[in-house]
Structure 1
């Protein structure tokens, strides 16, 4: 009984921080979705959460997890149905007493967690995301799978399935990286069989207008690419660019049909100055505290009193 009382006390305290008591600044909660091979109980992720709280005091941080233990959560980054996983996260965030009663939330995605958070925004977005920041995420998919350590059997199992039968129903429903595999040389197979990425990128003939509406509702969408990234191939996918695997030619987002026809609202965001393209030094997910802190200050700082709350959506005064 004591633990239940304690949880209730903590929730009440956190809500008093998140929700405005007057016209003063408002600190939105932050949700974080980690990447492939990571889990929500890792020390590094706890350090990121602590840095977010230290940079913007009063920040309530929620670490997204698909299983309640670290080992299971890590395994779920390799094996599972991404569509079902996003449904779980939609229910998880909507059920959180703090997130669900906040006027909006901020979101931070590391590697594959970035495109999964984008999927959350497009498919449910309750509670709604104010600012989305992604680091090294594969928004335009991967054309290769990363090499695994010799004794990492979970990773090696996923890699073998991806290489041998990425377009099979088994891989597209159970192997996580296969569900955001996108090689321009196999575009027909991708459009026909992709379980996840072809859908949330609105690349099929029938477009989902809700996806476009939800993504365009973001106040800011910031994408960071690691300049020396050799793990997420192509690295330019982090900025929604496409790379010709034969020539290495890069087609930037603004020159692609997904932007020009505005299938996802990215052009709308860009024209309004709400789409940011960023680079950061180093290899995939090698992040300095300084880079993270700068991002937290720029995108997750308290909303000043020039903002007002309208229902669950944070809007800017005209």
Structure 2
């Protein structure tokens, strides 16, 4: 959201950084559309289900990926890439590690730089979003609505979410999703401790608000102990495949040194 694949000051620069750190590596920075402008716009307006389908097709046809690859997702790209793993991983070369930075795996319930627990205006805006987010036409046309997760009306979220509820196996249990996710060597999730964009930030570690309110937070481990493990994450956790990393700072703010020590060396080389 608000970024493109290939600009030198954003993900294009990150691609160059990886190529400099890992000699001979092939780095594919995914562009959704025919231009960087389309890529930017599609981050807001192309339904994630179409984006996932597009990426699945692109990855399956890339000969340079046929020996297997690692997948790195930034912000909303985190859950979109996880959907790629779950929906079409069995048709792709082996995906070794899925690395997500600042992802919204349980969705969001808040707007960027606005903390509703401390500001009545923010809470009012959340109520407006709740009113509109689950209309079918909004779900189809606004990307961010597809991972809007209202904990105050969880049944409405599950019934009307056209993306997140499906990839989190909240509608039905899709065994293919479980099998594909469990084929990963590691599922690495990075949370930014001072994130002012993603609310709640715990969603970056698969945590979220307890159902029925928007104050108490529950961790992934709490959820796995209380509720049905709908994605096989407990099995992954017990096998040491789930990795939880935290980084001081705001959304997607990290140094090259931190990334090298915590991500690149353990999982990419």
- Within the candidate set 135, 142, 152, 1:175 is matched to 142
Contact 2:100 2:189 in 1 (8 A): yes
Corresponding residue pairs, total: 252
- Alignment of 1:54 with 2:7, yes or no, is no
Which structure 1 residue ranges, 4+ long, deviate > 6 Å from structure 2?
none
Is the aligned partner of 1:89 residue 2:55?
A: yes
Q: 1:114 to 1:247 in 2, by over 3 A?
A: closer
Displacement of 1:163 in angstroms is: 6.1
1:54 deviates by: 2.3
Deviation, 1:46, is: 1.9
| Deviation (angstroms), 1:55 | 2.2
Name the residue aligned to 1:119: 83
Instruction: Quote the offset at 1:249 in angstroms.
Output: 2.0
Larger radius of gyration: 1
- Say which of 154, 158, 168 aligns to 1:187: 154
Q: C-alpha offsets along residues 237-282 of structure 1, whole Å, 9 cap, x if unaligned?
A: 0000012595632211011148853211111111011101110010
Q: 2:2 aligns with which of 15, 34, 37?
A: 37
CA 1:163/1:242 → structure 2, altered by over 3 Å: closer, same or farther? closer
Q: Distance in 1 between matches of 2:200 and 2:242?
A: 20
Give the whole-Å Cα distance in 2 for the aligned partners of 1:300 and 1:190. Answer: 36
CA deviations over 1:129-185 (Å, ceiling 9, x no partner): 11011001000100023369xxxxxxxxxx9x9565100111111110000111211
Q: Tell me, in whole angstroms, the C-alpha distance in 2 between the residues paired with 1:214 and 1:299.
A: 19
Give the alignment's TM-score, normalised by structure 1.
0.75
SS at match of 1:230: coil
Aligned mates of 2:150, 2:44 — CA distance in 1: 19
Query: What is the CA–CA distance in structure 2 between the aligned matches of 1:297 and 1:119, rounded to whole Å?
Result: 25
Distance 2:130 2:215 in 1: 21
The change in CA–CA distance for 1:247 and 1:121 in structure 2 (over 3 A counts) is closer
| Cα pair distance change 1:48/1:130, threshold 3 Å | same
How far did residue 69 of structure 1 move? Answer: 1.1
Q: State how far apart, in whole Å, the 2-side matches of 1:166 and 1:260 are.
A: 26
Using the size of structure 2 for normalisation, the TM-score is 0.88
Runs of 5+ unmatched residues, structure 2: 115-125
Pick the structure with more helix per residue. 2
Q: 1:121, 1:128 within 8 Å by CA — same for their partners in 2?
A: no
Mapping of residues 248-267 of structure 1, within 5 Å:
248-257=215-224, 261-267=228-234
Matches of 1:90 and 1:259, distance apart in 2 = 33
Change (3 A) 1:69 1:175: same
Q: What are the residue-to-residue correspondences of 1:51-200 with 2, within 5 Å?
A: 51-99=17-65, 101-102=66-67, 104-125=68-89, 126-146=92-112, 162=129, 165-200=132-167
Q: Which runs of 5+ in 1 are unaligned?
A: 1-35, 149-158, 302-318
**Contact 2:49–2:163, Cα closer than 8 Å, also in 1:** yes
